Amino acid sequence: MATARISVVNAIIWIILFFASRILLGTIMTYLYMVDLFKIWRTSFSIEALGESEYAKILMLRQKGFNPQPVNDAWVLACVASAAILTVLNWAWFYMIISTTIRRVSGRNFGKREGSERSVRQ
């Protein structure tokens, strides 16, 4: 009896921490990451786009031998796709965690339609 309570408390704490770190914080950070990526992607190296102070930094980098270039479209697409895939996977994992926990605690099949099991031939 005590082991079952500890197991349930452990599952609840784990669900809360997973939600806080992966779903809440992860989704917010992914959104902010994508906003920054699109800002970088849209930036050209003109005074109008960057402002005088940022353009001066670009000129200073060029004087030191560096050659900053605009961001490649394929790189931005790969970063956005990977961040979106990871966020969707986090949401899917969270759904599976919740459904498994509810199923184990209540003994019901959560998330499955009735009659979806295949009939077995005898």
Model confidence over 12-69: pLDDT tens digits?
899 999 999 999 999 999 999 999 888 877 766 655 566 778 778 888 888 988 877 7
Q: What is the DSSP string of 85-122?
A: HHHHHHHHHHHHHHHHHHHHHH-S--S--TT-SPPPP-
Q: Which two tokens stand for residue 82?
A: 């990977």
Mean pLDDT (the chain) is 82
How confident is the model at residue 111, as a pLDDT? 55
What percent of the chain is helix, strand and coil (3-state, nearest 5)? Answer: 75, 0, 25
Long-range contacts made by residues 51-54, C-beta under 8 angstroms, separation at least 24? none
Residue 97's closest CA among 21, 5, 3?
21
Q: pTM score, two decimals?
A: 0.65
How confident is the model at residue 40, as a pLDDT? 77
Distance of CA 50 to the CA centre of its chain: 29
